[in-house]
Structure formats: structure tokens, C-alpha cells
Amino acid sequence: MEKTQVSAEIIGRVSRMEAALVRLNDAIATVEGALDTYEQMWDDYRALDSYYSGKAWWEDLEADNQGLLPEDLPRGVLSEDALYDALGDAEVLRQRLQEIAQSGYSSKN
């Protein structure tokens, strides 16, 4: 094919596919970074789950209720709803990723 025979259709197709390749590579990098974070978060999940289901959380809550903790100490972890919701959200995310992995990929079509 001579250079003069390249149509606008071919140029457009190559441009669209190049843009798709760039988007795919960007998405892969983003997902890989997110998955690294996801893997690391499970250490925190396990620690929080153990804390929340053990007696230490109750002891810490009681100390807070008695006013024994410093007033400027962040204590969101002692909020039963916040901790319970975060653990639940992590589980929902795990299930979603498992479903995506089992289906091979998610299609919007």
C-alpha cells in the first residue's frame, strides 16, 4: 500500500486503538496500585477484627467512657458503628473482587 493510499478511516482506526492502548495501560497501573493497597489493608482488617471481637476494645471503650483517655486522642475506632461498618465494607469489597475474578471480566454491554 502506497503512502498516498492510506485513508482517513485507517488513520482514525489507528488513533482510536492507540488511545485505547494508553487507557488500558493506565488502568492496569491504577488497578495494580489499588490491589497492592488492598493486599496491605488486610493486615489492618485482621488487627481491627481481632481488636473489636476481643476484650481490649471493651476495656478501651470503658476507659473512654470514664474519661481516662486524653481529650485530643482520636477515638473513631471506639465508635461501634464506624468499626463495624468498615469491617463490613471490606468484606463487601472482597466479595466484589472475587465475583469479578470468577467472571473473568466485567462487561457493561
**Mean pLDDT within 9-32:** 97
Residue 55's CB is within 10 A of a number of other CB atoms, namely: 8
Q: Are 23 and 61 in contact (CB under 8 A)?
A: no
Q: Examine the pLDDT at 1 and tell me if it is beyond 60.
A: no
Q: Examine the pLDDT at 106 and tell me if it is beyond 80.
A: no
User: How far is Cα 21 from Cα 15, in angstroms, rounded to an integer?
Assistant: 10
Question: Cell numbers of 3, please?
Answer: 503512502
Average pLDDT, the chain: 91
User: How far is Cα 76 from Cα 39, in angstroms, rounded to an integer?
Assistant: 23
Whole-number Cα distances in Å, 97 to 48, 56, 90, 101, 102: 21, 31, 11, 6, 9
Closest CA to 86 of 73, 76, 96: 76
The secondary element (H helix, E strand) that includes residue 100 is helix 80-103
Q: What is the pTM of this model?
A: 0.69
- For 29-89, the DSSP string reads HHHHHHHHHHHHHHHHHHHHHHHHHSHHHHHHHHHHHTT-S-TTS--GGG-HHHHHHHHHH
pLDDT tens track for 55-73: 999 999 999 999 999 999 9
pLDDT band at 104 (very low <50, low <70, confident <90, very high): confident
